[in-house]
Amino acid sequence: MIVGTQLVFDDFISGTTSYYTSSAFNSLLGSGNKTSFEYRITPISGTATVSVDYEHSDSGQDWPTKKTGILSVATSANTVSVGMFADTDTAPLGAMARLRISGSASTIAHVKIIATVRND
């Protein structure tokens, strides 16, 4: 059963700075036992390498990494990259979850991520 589908990230990223999904989505992202993600990455200039890590928490204060590199994709200028990725780890998820999105040093890109959370 689908718990929810939501656009959880829609922003520009630059360089190696870490960006996070909004805390408004933490409960949704932690509420299911299966989560899939659709992404759309539009490089603004040059090449863009975008990486996504999956973090979870019970407290909302400390965020250990559940899965490093759940997504890593390289794109080039004027090439939009789209696709899907999922949390395939069977380890239990904390009560809340979030995504940490970052790029390579030369990355300037617009990143959109839609999440679908399921309880099966």
What's the confidence (pLDDT) of residue 76?
86
Residue 105 reports pLDDT greater than 90: no
The pTM of the full predicted model, rounded to 2 decimals, is 0.94
Residue 42 is encoded by which pair of tokens?
């539009």
Decide which of 38 and 120 is more confident.
38
How many whole angstroms separate alpha carbon 49 and alpha carbon 25? 24
Mean pLDDT score across all residues of the chain: 93
8 burial (CB, 10 Å; 0-12 / 13-18 / 19+) is buried
Residue 100 is encoded by which pair of tokens?
């940490």
How many whole angstroms separate alpha carbon 3 and alpha carbon 69? 24
The answer to whether 85 touches 18, Cβ cutoff 8 Å, is: no
Does the structural domain 2-118 have CATH classification 2.60.120.260? Answer: yes
Q: What's the whole-number mean pLDDT along residues 94-107?
A: 93
